[in-house]
Structure formats: structure tokens, C-alpha cells
Structure 1
Amino acid sequence: MEMTILGCSGSLAGPGNAASGYLLRMSDGEHIVMDIGPGVLSRLQFHDRPGDVHVLFSHMHPDHCLDFPSLAVWQRYHPTDASGRVHTMLGPSIAPVHLGRASADALDEVDDFSDIFDMSGWQAPGQEPVEFADGTYPEHRIGSTRLYAATAVHPTESYLIRVEDADGSSLVYSGDTAATPNLAALASGADVLLCEATWGERDNGDNPPQMHLSGEEAGQAAAEAGVGRLILTHIPPWGDREGALRGARRFFDGPVDLAVPDMVVVPGAPA
């Protein structure tokens, strides 16, 4: 597995940085985009063929999904790179209607993407944290890639995502979430934890509750999960990137990096 960061700006696109979007190239040749916020499709065109990608969504907030209707236009109508097959889309249960309304021609219509995407909802364990090694997580598949989800803590239906390649490498993506034991449980033993750190070094108590993580909380989850590497992402243009790094390193003694556009990460390889 190889991940390319297409965009990692938190809550909205920033100067020179698209909102959330991550390209995964799997060992079996399948290509997957995790979240596709504003600006991500533009960056994807530099790195891959938009006509041949599957899509995973952590949740439906605009900074994580608004380029999907444009991706659908590409896959349907591009003169030389339209989709030649139906791809997989996994996301929250609200995704088909939410995205369909964003793409429809009239207010009361919902665009049907079934010509280009097989759209399914994440299946996840209950609210009680379950260690990933217990083998109780429902499994989704794209080719030989195994995908798992756990419930996040966010104002809308949101999920943490674990990706396991046939080559044995693994990556866990936090999406957007407040602190939850589900994160360390799902990330147990993963090669890479790609984790939001919106609040910078620590939550100062003035932030909206049940929304996001700080660098300290990301570091705590990484340490508890025993991951190989922590990458901090989803920091707004006005956010404290260096503070998030300090906070994470206070709790996690493995490699910690700040996500940047075009960064390439190979889970399982030396950081």
C-alpha cells in the first residue's frame, strides 16, 4: 500500500492545500480515495486517473465530500477517462441521499450514482470499544483490500476507517472525531495512524465539544494502540501545527509527522 496526501487542511481548503483527501494505491492494483473535499479532485489529476478510483467517506461534512459530484461528472462524461466499470463507494448511511442532492438538477431530486458507483454503508461494532484483534469487526472488500470501520464521535454520522492491504500493511484514518476509545481499539497494531489534530497542542476547553482531537489526544491514541507511525492531519489554516506536533510527541515516542500535500507514505516502511 502507498498513500499520497492530496489535501490535509482542516475544516476547509487552505492556501496551497486542499481539504481532506487521501489516495491509496493497493498492491492488487486498485486505487482508492479516502474522503474527497474541496480541491481534492484537482490534486488527484496530478497523481492518478480520476476515472478509475473507488471512494471511502468518513463522514458527510462539506470539507470531506464536496468534490464527489464533480468526480461523478468525470467518471460519467470524460471523453477519454470515463469510468469503464462500477466502482465501490463506502460511507455513512446518509451518503447516497446527501451526495445525490448535491448533484441533482432540481431541489427535490436525488441523483442516482448507481451507473458508476456501488454505494454501501459502513458496518461497525456497537458503541463499546472492541480490540481489532478480536476479529469481531464486519469486513468490507475492494479487491483483495480489507476495510473495517468503527463509530467516531462527531455531530454527524462519522466513522474511523482501517485499511488492510493483501501485502500485510495497515493504515487507520481517524476522519473527524473527538476522543473515543474506539480509535485506539481499531488502530491496534497498525503500521500508520493518520489522525486529525484540529485543536493544536491540547484542547483549551473553549472549543465546541464532541468535535475534534488535539495533538495530545492523537498521541495518546497512537501510544495506546501501539502503532508504528503517527501522521497528524486536518489542522486548519489558522491552526497550531507545531503545537499539535509537540502535543503528540509528549505521549507517543514513535515517529510523528505533520501531513503535507503530495506527501507519500508507505505503511510498514521505515519513516
Structure 2
Amino acid sequence: MKLTILGCSGSIPGPDAPASGYLVESGGTRILLDLGNGTLGTLQRFVDPFTPDALLLSHLHPDHCADFGALTVLRRYHPAPPYDPAERKLPVHAPAEAPERLAALYAPNAAERAGADLSDVFEFAPVPESPLRLGPFEITAFPVHHVCPSWGFRIAAEGRVLAYTADTGPCEELTELARDADVLLAEASWPDSPERPDGLHLSGKQAAELANRASARRLLLTHLQPWCDDAEILAEAREHTTVPTELVTTAARYAV
């Protein structure tokens, strides 16, 4: 299983990093986890953007789904696509309100917003309540604690496990999500300090403590906000765990 970082900036894009988005590949099957601002551009460095087999959206904040509008333009108007997008619709597993919310995001003008429909090139389904099979992948969604409905994803293939927290504050579900994961891709949006909002995101310390509780084998920190000190967050995480820990960067690739 291979993980490619399409973007890793939290809340907004950074000067050198799109927002959150990830490509996961195994055995010829490709899935996208989130598609925040700028991630469709990074995707094109590595694969034809028509080739992913599914898109999973953890939640509907712009830094995790804003490039869905650009993906809609691509699938509707590319002059020479490799297949007919209307015949081979992209499966999108997302929060229940995604069809309406994403149609409004894409709508080219206010008059077309009401009743807009993207089902010509996408096939929407709610975030699955039971494990989902996609090619060699088994994907289990865990509801996590955020200011809107949000899910983390546990992705198993080839005898390996990638756990992705998405956006979350501390919650009990995270431990099972990350249990014995080969790679824990955890948000660490800010340093652990009294000034940070409580329960909205993880700090570097909290991501490290999660890796410890879950016995994860490797910790990758993502969703670092441009106004925070990345080095401080990394040092904080390493202080609280012996699990190998590093910051991800845009376009980095990892074997899970």
C-alpha cells in the first residue's frame, strides 16, 4: 500500500502546501481521501486525475473538499477524457448532505444553485456504517469529534493498515481507529497550550499520546496550520512518544 500526500496544510492552504488530501494505492486500485484547496493540482503530478476509483470525504469543511468543484469541471468538460464519465461515474462516499452542499459549491451562478445536480458524473453514497470493500481495500469509518459530522478512516490492504484521523479533537473512537496501525496519519493542528480551543483538533502531544495508546508503528503528522510552528509541534510529539514520528510534506510518498 502506498500513500501520497496531495496536501497537508490545516484550515487554509499554506504558501507551499495545498490543504488536506491524500492518494492511497494498492494493487492497481486508487482511492482519494479528502480533496482540499489545491490538491487536484498535486494529484496530476502522479496520476491521471480520471484514474482514482473512489473519493472518500471525511467532512465538508472547505480545506477537505474545496477542489471537488474543480474535479466536477474536469469530469464534465475535459475534451478528451480516457472514458465517458457519465458511463463510469466516480463513487463518492461522504456525509449525507454532500450532494446538495457540493452542488452549491460547484454552481456557476446563483440562479443555478437551487436544484443543482452532480449525479451525471458522480455516484454519491453516505459514509459507510459497515466496512466497505474497494478492490483490495477494506475501509472502516469511525465517527470522530469535530464541529461538524466528521469521520476518520481505517484502511487495510496487503496485510497493512493506514489509519487517518481526519479532523478531530480527542475522543474514544480514535484508539480503535488507530489500533496496531502500521501508519497513523494524524492531524496535529497546533501545539499543546492553554490558548488553543479545546476539543476541536489534536495537538502534537495528543497525536503522540494516541499513537502510544493504539500501539501504532509509525506516526505521520498532518493538517498543520500555516500560522503554527511546525518544528515546535514535531518536537512536542517526539517528546511524548518513542514511535517514529515525522511531519508530512506535499508530494511526499510513503510505503505503508
Q: In structure 1, how many angstroms separate the alpha carbons of the residues matched to 2:83 and 2:18? A: 24
1:115 paired residue among 108, 115, 120: 120
TM-score, reference length from structure 2: 0.93
CA contact (8 A) 1:88 1:142 kept: no
**Aligned counterpart, 2:175:** 184
Q: Deviations over 1:15-61 (max 9, x none)?
A: 1210101111122x121111111111111111111112221111100
**Aligned counterpart, 2:58:** 58
| Greater alpha carbon shift after TM alignment, 85-94 vs 219-228 | 85-94
CA contact (8 A) 1:8 1:21 kept: yes
Q: 1:211 deviation in Å?
A: 1.0
SS in 2 for 1:51: coil
**Aligned counterpart, 1:40:** 39
**Aligned counterpart, 1:70:** 70
Q: Return closer, same or farther for 1:196/1:235 CA change in 2, 3 Å cut-off.
A: same
**Aligned counterpart, 2:156:** 164
Q: 1:162 deviation in Å?
A: 0.9
Q: Deviations over 1:70-100 (max 9, x none)?
A: 1121122212235541222111112111111
Q: In structure 1, how many angstroms separate the alpha carbons of the residues matched to 2:15 and 2:76? A: 30
Q: After TM superposition, list the pairs within 5 Å mapping 1:77-116 onto structure 2.
A: 77-81=77-81, 83-84=83-84, 85-107=88-110, 108-116=113-121
Q: In structure 2, how many angstroms separate the alpha carbons of the residues matched to 1:183 and 1:237? A: 25
SS in 2 for 1:4: strand
Q: After TM superposition, list the pairs within 5 Å mapping 1:176-255 onto structure 2.
A: 176-200=167-191, 202=192, 204-255=193-244
Q: After TM superposition, list the pairs within 5 Å mapping 1:14-25 onto structure 2.
A: 14-25=14-25
SS in 1 for 2:50: helix
The residue type paired with residue 170 of structure 2 is A
CA contact (8 A) 1:83 1:116 kept: no
Q: In structure 2, how many angstroms separate the alpha carbons of the residues matched to 1:30 and 1:119? A: 19
Q: In structure 1, how many angstroms separate the alpha carbons of the residues matched to 2:134 and 2:114? A: 29
- Give me the identity figure in percent: 38
The residue type paired with residue 56 of structure 1 is L
CA contact (8 A) 1:6 1:21 kept: yes
TM-score, reference length from structure 1: 0.88
The residue type paired with residue 137 of structure 2 is T
Aligned residues: 250
Q: Return closer, same or farther for 1:52/1:75 CA change in 2, 3 Å cut-off.
A: farther
Q: In structure 2, how many angstroms separate the alpha carbons of the residues matched to 1:199 and 1:17? A: 16
Q: Deviations over 1:167-223 (max 9, x none)?
A: 1121011111001121111110111000000012x1x22222321000000001111
SS in 1 for 2:45: helix
1:146 is the counterpart of 2:149: no
CA contact (8 A) 1:93 1:120 kept: yes
The residue type paired with residue 16 of structure 1 is D
Q: In structure 2, how many angstroms separate the alpha carbons of the residues matched to 1:194 and 1:239? A: 19
Q: In structure 2, how many angstroms separate the alpha carbons of the residues matched to 1:106 and 1:263? A: 37
Q: In structure 1, how many angstroms separate the alpha carbons of the residues matched to 2:19 and 2:243? A: 26
CA contact (8 A) 2:93 2:128 kept: no
